[in-house]
A and B are shown apart, each in its own frame.
Chain A
């Protein structure tokens, strides 16, 4: 039996998350096929077929799949489910939207945010905002899962998989109205090797400019705590935490972030954590590799100078 991985993309580029979910599939161990469902997405297919260890790339290229409508994508997945024992997607807004729907239509449970593969039917996933890790054994014939991509290392790009077209077109009563995506020159928060995040102590949206400079100098992404998002300093898609993005970069710099449990849940798997905070009691220092007790408005400009 084989494993199907649903590719994560924006119709133009394949997200690095997909290469990490393919790594999770290989840890389960079986033939891995990739599904690229999108609209005018041939560039994505070209990237997808190069992922190491992928057997086939299934392509459903049609306008109905262009905006990630869960109903359309879900019905497409159900139509090919008979060939697969495992169906995996990134635990992204798309994967979380579609996969429970697919599982319900197949009358199986769904396993969310898998961080470790124990065996072909047993997986580890965080519960209670990462305060505990549950090891779950699936009793269902098909395992429908979302995968926390930050827990896996991406596979390489030296493959050349066969490309197969799917002709199923599934449409629903859901109508796409509009979409506004934040445009940024910086790397994607989930894929960046360096993340610079600011908290409520940044004080204003304007003050985030110094963190943007620091992120740019390090070639990294900008993040924020929920407090900074709630205060309106930055848009909500920059939020790192249990209810936002889960990241695990090589270097995470937390500036003016106290370290609430819900924030720590989103970044504690980073390889090196730096915390800059003027409160020596801030809980962020308990997870930081390097802590600096300082006023961020003194420390960050100096850091910019020295790096």
Chain B
């Protein structure tokens, strides 16, 4: 069976971003970029399913600028078999991304679509659920365990207050949470091999979907900075201040 794994190029998780001078966006020029951490977990899960003999082909897809091919190569170095790059310099709302992915799924007919629960730039947490709705597929978000059984998939999800397990027929959409797995590091021979794996580049227009603008970004501002308070010398002083100054205990 085939797995489709959409991935996104984002600012590396360890880099602190700043708002640009005219308050229209964050300044991402010259920052270190990487595959979104949740997407990397999705790639790893697909590779583990392939190693377990459940999956026969892993297709990774990204929508983004020319440089996003780096992230497809990273995913292929981890074990994906081929890549699809929808090349565009535009930024899209999650719904438009989901429409493009749905068009690709219609061509690929994957049994499972594994993707990160959210990207760490927009923090939207929407694309997987939207893709499931558009493709009339069941969804399992925030997965911490994935088991394929025949034509069904059984997914344990991280929900508020605990864990929930659902069973659903495939094709299905699964979004990954932090604790699903720990992604491996790509080995050098695999990085070299990934350079020769097939990668198709297509345009947004070729997908034949109608997209529209759903929102305007009015402004982007830095959050209010919290002022550092005082250092206290002892537990006694702390308790005294909490009682008499802050009045919270």
Q: Are A272 and B231 in contact (CB under 8 A)?
A: no
Q: How far is the CA of A129 from the CA of B26 in the complex (A)?
A: 12
Q: Are B129 and A100 in contact (CB under 8 A)?
A: yes
Q: Are A292 and B231 in contact (CB under 8 A)?
A: yes
B132 lies within 8 A of chain A by Cβ: yes
Q: In chain A, what residue has the closest Cβ to B135?
A: A104
Q: In chain B, what residue has the closest Cβ to A219?
A: B249
B133 lies within 8 A of chain A by Cβ: yes
Main secondary structure of the interface of A (DSSP, over half): mixed
Q: Using A172-B138, A236-B179 as known contacts, say yes or no to A291 and B230 having CB atoms under 8 A apart.
A: yes
Q: Are A180 and B221 in contact (CB under 8 A)?
A: no
- Please tell me the size bucket of the interface on A: 35 or more
- Could you tell me the distance in whole angstroms from the C-beta of A51 to the nearest C-beta in chain B? 20
Q: In chain B, what residue has the closest Cβ to A268?
A: B226
Q: How far is the CA of A139 from the CA of B215 in the complex (A)?
A: 5
Q: In chain B, what residue has the closest Cβ to A245?
A: B160
Q: In chain B, what residue has the closest Cβ to A264?
A: B226
Q: Are B159 and A126 in contact (CB under 8 A)?
A: no
Residues of A within 8 A of B169 (CB): 173
A105 lies within 8 A of chain B by Cβ: yes
Q: Using A74-B133, A294-B235 as known contacts, say yes or no to A237 and B162 having CB atoms under 8 A apart.
A: yes
Q: Are A93 and B160 in contact (CB under 8 A)?
A: yes
Q: Are B139 and A108 in contact (CB under 8 A)?
A: no
Q: Which of A21-29, A36-44, A65-73, A198-206 contacts B (4 or more CB under 8 A)?
A: A65-73
Q: Are A138 and B215 in contact (CB under 8 A)?
A: yes
Report how many A-B pairs have Cβ atoms within 8 Å. 234
- Could you tell me the distance in whole angstroms from the C-beta of B213 to the nearest C-beta in chain A? 6
Q: In chain B, what residue has the closest Cβ to A269?
A: B226
Q: How far is the CA of A130 from the CA of B128 in the complex (A)?
A: 22
A83 lies within 8 A of chain B by Cβ: no
Residues of A within 8 A of B121 (CB): 127-128
Segment 149-174 of B: residues with Cβ below 8 Å from A? 154, 157-169
Chain B residues with a Cβ closer than 8 Å to the other chain, count: 72
Residues of A within 8 A of B11 (CB): 128
Q: How far is the CA of A56 from the CA of B122 in the complex (A)?
A: 34
Contact flags A202-229 to B (C-beta < 8 A → 1, else 0): 0000000000000000100000001000
Residues of A within 8 A of B1 (CB): none
Residues of A within 8 A of B98 (CB): 104
Contact flags B118-154 to A (C-beta < 8 A → 1, else 0): 0011111111111111100011011000000000001
B238 lies within 8 A of chain A by Cβ: yes
Q: Are A290 and B229 in contact (CB under 8 A)?
A: yes
Q: In chain A, what residue has the closest Cβ to B221?
A: A133
Segment 22-54 of B: residues with Cβ below 8 Å from A? 26
Residues of A within 8 A of B138 (CB): 71, 172-174
Q: Are B139 and A71 in contact (CB under 8 A)?
A: yes
Residues in chain A within 8 A of chain B (CB atoms): 10, 67-71, 74, 92-94, 96-105, 107-113, 118, 122, 126-140, 172-182, 188, 190, 194, 218, 226, 236-237, 242-243, 250-251, 261, 268, 271-274, 285-294, 299, 302-303, 306-307
13 contacts between A and B (CB under 8 A): A70-B141, A100-B130, A103-B95, A129-B123, A134-B217, A139-B216, A174-B138, A180-B163, A274-B242, A289-B229, A291-B228, A291-B229, A294-B235
Residues in chain B within 8 A of chain A (CB atoms): 11, 16-19, 26, 93-95, 98, 120-134, 138-139, 141-142, 154, 157-169, 178-179, 213-223, 226, 228-232, 234-236, 238-239, 241-242, 246, 248-249
